[in-house]
Amino acid sequence: MRKPIIAGNWKMNKTVAEALELVKDLRFKLENVSDVEIVVCPPFLAVQSVYQFLKGSNIKVGAQNCYFEKKGAFTGEVSPAMLKEAGCSFVILGHSERRQYFKESDEFINKKIKAVLPEGLLAIVCVGETLEEREKNIWKEVIKTQVTGGLKGITKEEVSKLVIAYEPVWAIGTGKVASKEQAQEVHKFIRDLFVKLYDKNTAEALRIQYGGSVKPDNISLLMSEPDIDGALVGGAALEAESFMKLVKFEKKAKQ
């Protein structure tokens, strides 16, 4: 059984004071939850204070990015060890906004994955097609390239330290959520790809999150699909009330 994982990707939102206000609320509202793994990913500057506040709770902290070098003259960058020391358990890598606005390639993302795992961080690796790629019906090729390129040289033992987030670019921040059938089709495709690249057990244990306009009113249906194991949430993770509803989604039997 894969434990559902709901992660909030706050993007470039929340000052440290605002971040603390949000997690104060969340800690209280979510203290009884044990059947879902909960992660919040604040901006770098708020990571440490958020971690200090959440220490000992059931909410883990993640970062939204990092660099692959250990240290040195890389102005503006943050290393995996710095994130670990600040309290991160997770780091999101290859988010479509990083791919789109900061021109991150699969090769670059691959280097980051290889840099964070030895530090004991777990990576949430994002993949997903654009609207144009979906309309051209080439999403399978796109996702296959992102998975194989991003995970080049990653061993099956290391796959247990990964979560894959399928985030169709056309659904992010647009209010246009993928239908549960569309999402399930891609999630199944990704899991089958892991069977081919690794083996059945590795693929079965892998958690695959859906991301893109996940809201309290659509999460239960998405989570009822057999290969959807969680959600990576942007907009709806910025308010305690809606993030609480997401984490406490109504569990329907998996189909």
* Listed ranges 48-56, 66-74, 142-150, 227-235: which one lies at the site for ligand PGA (CB under 6 A): 227-235
Across 59-91, b (16+ Cβ under 10 Å) vs e yields bbbbbbbbbbeeeeeeeeebbbbbbbebbbbbb
Identify which of residues 110 and 213 has a Cβ nearer to ligand PGA in the complex.
213
Out of 118, 120, 173, 226, the only residue in the binding site for ligand PGA (CB under 6 A) is 173
Contacts of 116 (CB under 8 A, 6+ apart): 66, 80, 83, 91, 93, 123
Q: What is the DSSP string of 111-124?
A: HHHHHHGGGT-EEE
Tell me which of 37, 167, 225, 227 binds ligand PGA, using CB under 6 A: 167
Q: Is 214 in the site for ligand PGA (CB under 6 A)?
A: yes
Structure tokens at 37: 């793994």
Number of residues that bind ligand PGA (CB under 6 A): 13
Catalytic option among 95, 104, 129, 133: 95
Per-residue mark of binding to ligand PGA, 183-212 (x: CB under 6 A): ----------------------------xx
Residue 197 is inside which H or E element, if any? helix 180-197
Per the annotation, the verdict on 167 as an active-site residue is yes
> Shortest gap between Cβ of 74 and ligand PGA (angstroms)?
25
Closest chain position to ligand PGA (CB): 234
As a whole number of angstroms, the distance between CA 127 and CA 125 comes to 7
The residue ranges that bind ligand PGA (CB under 6 A) are: 9, 167, 172-173, 211-214, 232-236
